[in-house]
Copies of this chain bind each other. A is one copy, B any other.
Amino acid sequence: MAGVTNYPNASRDDLKAQYVGKLLRDVDAPAAIIDVHVARRNCQLMLDAADALGVLFRSHVKTHKTTELTKFQVGEKSDPIRLVVSTLAEAEQLQPFLEECKANGRSTDLIYGLPVRPSCFKRLAALGKALGKSSISVLVDSPDIIPFLSRYRELTSHAVGVLVKLDTGNNRAGIAPDSQQFKDLLAALHAAEHDGNNAGIVLRGFYSHLGHSYSSDSTNEAMDYLAQEIERCTIGAAYAATVGKYAGRRFLITVGATPTTTAAQNLTSPDTLDPTTKRVRELVDRSKAAYDIELHAGAYVTLDMQQLAAHARPTASNLSFDDIAITVLAEVGSLYPHRAQPEALAACGSLCLGREACRSYPGWGVVTPWLEDGEGTRTAETGWYDPEGERKGWIMDRISQEHGILGWHGARDNVRPLKVGEKIRIWPNHCCICIAGFSYVLVVDSSLEGAEKDRVQDVWFSWRGW
């Protein structure tokens, strides 16, 4: 478990002693802050939407890489616990939690979310031995890996689940479901699964991640992407059903990314008249008859400026800044009121926020209206910079490795005053990259009263390494 031991965490007791009980204004910055109340609500909304739609849900953990948020994502009901990871280290870090679940009778169904490589099987097998039969599945999108797949069974005596990674329009990983490559791959998988000395694999279904749904700018557009993913996957699944012994197998179709899966919350409204919603809901219902349909996502847990820009959640849920569970606590380092627009320096750079653009505004983060002496309730009278509103407020205009330049947008005489040493909170553009800059996150709870909203309740590790 090189990914675990080579990237050790600090002492949990030491971190808790340092942070728990402190108000955010008294905490060393920069720090990543998670609002547990908002994150829990985001997770529950997703579980409820999947339930209402009658589809499965699989939690991607790469956004936060924490055990605690994984627990919110998977809820307490689903058995097996459905997970997808982007690194082996993520799976290994979750192993203690998953073994505990196993002891309580709840099994694991974990997908390693990159096309599997020969080097992965040793660590996947160690996980599979600990978590039991059917616990591990891998993605395949090239025939070159097939000769290596038998390694898993050699090491565990169990079969490994296989999903074909489909490119449904994203042009990253995967192959097109109507391509010759797909047909050849299916034939090769069928042979490996069924012929002679079989490889110990079970073709479970088809996996798509439509990352470019991040570019959607309306709920309907996101739903169109979702429909596109499902339709493209069913093309693959329908072809597979014509291949030898795959006839009659009930395949899993697993699709999604945060914009499309949060948009799916729209589909749960029973009486909508919107034609897109109606069409996509009918598609889901039709597909469910033949396949197990599953959504997967990760960034919905905390959301961020990019997700707000994607307008993914239905208007009915009032997706807003209040739904972003992640902020970065930063310290104001200097003031430049004499510049063409007032500017300030924050001791917080791209190693905290990431250099991740957001198409709704030209900055690297938005300063929230939180006031360090507001004790959780009073906020800046000037509000905050809303890319779709009046665009008045402080944003991170320029960013370097360890600092950034905040710019005031709006009339100079209405500037929100900042002072040197003041703590501010910043909504990041891309939660996944932001959290990856930190090895632990500080937890606050906005459902508490008054100053308690600003008090650190817990410290969670966010894992690194591979």
Contact B119 A421, beta carbon cutoff 8 Å: yes
Question: Bound complex: CA of A271 vs CA of B176, how far in Å?
Answer: 63
- Knowing A10-B7, A175-B336, the reply to whether A331 touches B119 (Cβ < 8 A) is yes
- Knowing A420-B144, A439-B7, the reply to whether A211 touches B334 (Cβ < 8 A) is no
Closest-by-CB residue of B relative to A356 is B355
Q: Could you tell me the distance in whole angstroms from the C-beta of A122 to the nearest C-beta in chain B?
A: 10
Contact B114 A145, beta carbon cutoff 8 Å: no
Question: A142 is contacted by which of B2, B335, B436 (Cβ under 8 Å)?
Answer: B335
- Knowing A145-B334, A211-B400, A401-B433, the reply to whether A10 touches B10 (Cβ < 8 A) is no
Question: Bound complex: CA of A211 vs CA of B179, how far in Å?
Answer: 48
- Knowing A355-B355, A421-B119, A439-B6, the reply to whether A400 touches B433 (Cβ < 8 A) is no
Contact B439 A464, beta carbon cutoff 8 Å: yes
Q: Point out the residues of chain B lying under 8 angstroms from A403, CB to CB.
A: 86, 114, 172-173
Contact B335 A420, beta carbon cutoff 8 Å: no
Question: Bound complex: CA of A402 vs CA of B86, how far in Å?
Answer: 6
A5 on the B face (CB < 8 A): yes
- A325-365 vs B, CB cutoff 8 Å, 1 = contact: the mask equals 00000011111101000000101001100111000000000
A14 on the B face (CB < 8 A): yes
Question: Bound complex: CA of A211 vs CA of B332, how far in Å?
Answer: 21
- Knowing A8-B9, A335-B142, A405-B172, the reply to whether A117 touches B421 (Cβ < 8 A) is yes
What 7 A-B pairs come out closest when comparing CB atoms?
Answer: A115-B334, A118-B421, A86-B402, A144-B420, A142-B334, A115-B333, A6-B10
11 contacts between A and B (CB under 8 A): A6-B14, A29-B466, A114-B403, A117-B331, A117-B347, A119-B331, A141-B334, A145-B420, A401-B432, A402-B466, A439-B464
12 further interface pairs, Cβ-Cβ under 8 Å (given A118-B421, A175-B336): A5-B14, A6-B14, A8-B10, A28-B119, A30-B466, A86-B401, A144-B419, A145-B334, A172-B400, A347-B466, A351-B436, A354-B355
Enumerate chain A interface residues (CB-CB to B < 8 A). Answer: 2, 5-11, 14-15, 18, 28-30, 62, 86-87, 114-119, 141-142, 144-145, 148, 171-173, 175, 179-181, 211, 331-336, 338, 345, 347, 350-351, 354-356, 398, 400-403, 405, 419-421, 432-433, 436, 439-440, 464-466
